[in-house]
Structure 1
């Protein structure tokens, strides 16, 4: 029997809606607690350098109030390292970040930024924060993650998600091969970006993938069916794939 696939719910875009009007509604922490009730195994939040959605106060509250693990997505900067070391989330996923991008556009170049990443990874690990690297499904990046001592990689599924169904086979093979390679080398495999109930099945079926992190779709779908129902539908699709 395959191990149950974990679901991490990203609540960034609840904060996006809040920040569009200012004030404190809707509250992303309330959304995170609802997500937990609906079956989320963890909560993910990306504290961007420009604070376009999640804020420092949100991270402090999430770290204090969540009954499930908090996964802090962060750029590889000294500012973000300091915040992670202060709040000690269960996990920190290092992601690439550009000010002008609407959302994360690809994986971290762990191989090209090895020297820069090494001290950050070491300090996070020394603080008992589980380090994850958000990377492309590429052998060179997995090798870099292994050499950095990152216990987890999150494979970027955005390219897969944005291809038409008939064009996905090659990208799915890349993801499947990368997951197998990482797991063979003792790295835990997560995946995420652009996943929906319509496209999640092939990714959820990859046996080495232990966790999916999904946000934008769930917050969008919540407009139509409610957040708890959206999460339960995704949970059911993931379980069916296994």
Structure 2
């Protein structure tokens, strides 16, 4: 079964645009779980433009599904993980000013650094996933870091899906099979939506988890949060 983890960064963005606490990030996370989300994902960036450190602390007290914290593994991020000890830490190579994650790790260039980080995170009892491009050369080095999982960066798949979905998914099928052979768990995320999610799952049926935020929150404006989460769950269960 592929789990759905709902990324609630955009809920915090909406709250921060007005100030105050509406919408309430903690309440939305709890409701998302109640509506069928099997995990909650956050990406607390240094400038706190959406999820703040305090949000992470508040969420850690109440999230009962898998709590996944994404981020660049600088000192601040590592301190958050050490304090919270979430179910999963997803490592992304974003610079502080990145609008959103837009590339995976060069696991060849950063192999030794990632080895040290993964070992430290394992010391906190946290599962580790490394954000990675669908290029086979990065997967054996990813295995060497000691990571538990890789998260496939799916923006290229999503952008090409409507032109030629078979061509778009082909590199992902290739690297997913490679990851499986290497004994790595497989997550996926970025620009997945109600149009392209089912096909990705069909072609990679052994996906462990997808993390979806922006598209899901946009859909919720039309369909409502509860209905939207169930719609995404159905895409993964068909």
TM-score, normalisation: structure 1: 0.94
Distance 1:208 1:185 in 2: 14
**Structure 1 residues not aligned, in runs of 5+:** none
Would you say the 8 A contact 2:161–2:196 is kept in 1?
Answer: no
> Do structure 1's residue 88 and structure 2's residue 85 form an aligned pair?
yes
Q: Is the 8 A contact 2:2 2:206 kept in 1?
A: no
How many correspondences in the alignment? Answer: 237
Residue 227 of structure 1 corresponds to 225
1:82 is displaced (CA, Å) by 1.2
Q: Give 1:128 shift.
A: 0.7
Q: Residues 16-35 of structure 1: matches in 2 within 5 Å?
A: 16-35=13-32
- C-alpha separation in 2, matches of 1:138 and 1:101: 22
CA displacement, residues 145-182 of structure 1 (integer Å, 9 cap, x when unaligned): 10001011110111111125233323311101111110
Task: Go from structure 1 to structure 2 and tell me whether the alpha carbon gap of 1:220 and 1:53 turns closer, same or farther (over 3 Å shift).
Answer: same
Contact 2:140 2:182 in 1 (8 A): no
Normalising by the residue count of structure 2, what TM-score does the alignment of the two structures yield?
0.96
Secondary structure of the corresponding residue to residue 209 of structure 1: coil
Task: Please tell me whether residue 189 in structure 1 is matched to residue 186 in structure 2.
Answer: yes
Tell me whether 1:138 sits opposite 2:135 in the alignment: yes
| Counterpart residue number, 1:199 | 196
The superposition leaves residues 36-92 of structure 1 with CA deviations (integer Å, 9 ceiling, x where unpaired) of 111111111001122110001111111110111100001021221111111111110
Indicate the RMSD between aligned Cα atoms, in angstroms.
Answer: 1.2
Match of 1:43 in 2: 40
| Residues 115, 144 of structure 2: 8 Å contact kept | no
Q: Residue 155 of structure 1: which of 152, 162, 174 is its match?
A: 152
Report how far residue 12 of structure 1 moved. Answer: 0.6
Distance 1:49 1:113 in 2: 21
